[in-house]
């Protein structure tokens, strides 16, 4: 994938291992680079901004979703955050334990749970998000405005194409 070896080295080695079989190196590069960039981004943003607040990437994303759209039902938080409902339950438990959000069983539908931020949670996001966005800007500063628009559009195509049915 996209590690310490160059693309050319990797392709050469893959051809050695697989012989003359037809391979789609272009698509391989797309997948590898999406994954590598995402990994590096997540680690970078966790180290540079989130760790100081003892927040994981996903913890932050969940707080962000509830901060922006709350009060909001857990099924919507899971979808908006891109994680499963089971994972969300665990992450909410962690954030609830830290005093950042609360859960309330729905009044009209006993199956539903509403999530909202506490005062501490809102205060945290008010202070943290501008820093986070600043670091996002720093990270994306290697791209021009047009490149940012292009890459967002192309990634959205791929994300839509691979979204669960």
Partner DNA sequence: TCATTATTGTTAGCATCCAAACGACCTAAG
Partner DNA sequence: CTTAGGTCGTTTGGATGCTAACAATAATGA
Contact positions with DNA (CB under 7 A) in 92-151? 92-94, 103, 108-113
Nearest to 46 by CA among 64, 35, 58, 37: 58
Question: Rounded CA gap, 33 and 121, in Å?
Answer: 34
Which of these segments, 15-23, 39-47, 117-125, 127-135, binds DNA (CB under 7 A)?
A: 39-47
> By CB under 7 A, what part of segment 62-81 binds DNA?
73-75, 78
As measured in angstroms, the least distance from the Cβ of 29 to DNA is 19
Cα distances (angstroms) measured from residue 122 to each of 36, 59, 70? 32, 14, 11
Q: Which of 53, 56, 69, 87 binds its own copies (CB under 8 A)?
A: 69
- Binding to its own copies by CB under 8 A, coded x per residue (else -) over 122-151, reads -------xx--xx-xx-xxxxx-x-xxxxx
6 touches its own copies by CB under 8 A: no
Check binding of 120 to its own copies (CB under 8 A): no
Residue 84, interface with DNA (CB under 7 A)? yes
């Amino acid at each position: 994938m996209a590690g310490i070896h160059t693309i050319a080295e990797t392709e050469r080695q893959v051809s050695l291992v697989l012989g003359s079989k037809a391979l789609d190196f272009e698509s391989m590069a797309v997948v590898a680079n999406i994954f590598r960039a995402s990994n590096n981004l997540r680690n970078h943003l966790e180290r540079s901004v989130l760790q100081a607040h003892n927040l994981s990437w996903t913890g932050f994303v969940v707080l962000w979703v509830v901060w922006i759209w709350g009060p909001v039902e857990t099924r919507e938080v899971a979808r908006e955050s891109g994680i499963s409902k089971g994972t969300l339950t665990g992450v909410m438990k962690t954030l609830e334990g830290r005093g950042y959000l609360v859960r309330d069983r729905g009044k009209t539908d006993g199956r539903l749970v509403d999530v909202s931020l506490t005062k501490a949670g809102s205060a945290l996001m008010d202070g943290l998000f501008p820093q986070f966005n600043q670091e996002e800007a720093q990270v994306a500063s290697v791209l021009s405005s047009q490149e940012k628009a292009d890459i967002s559009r192309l990634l959205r195509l791929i994300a839509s194409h691979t979204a669960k049915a």
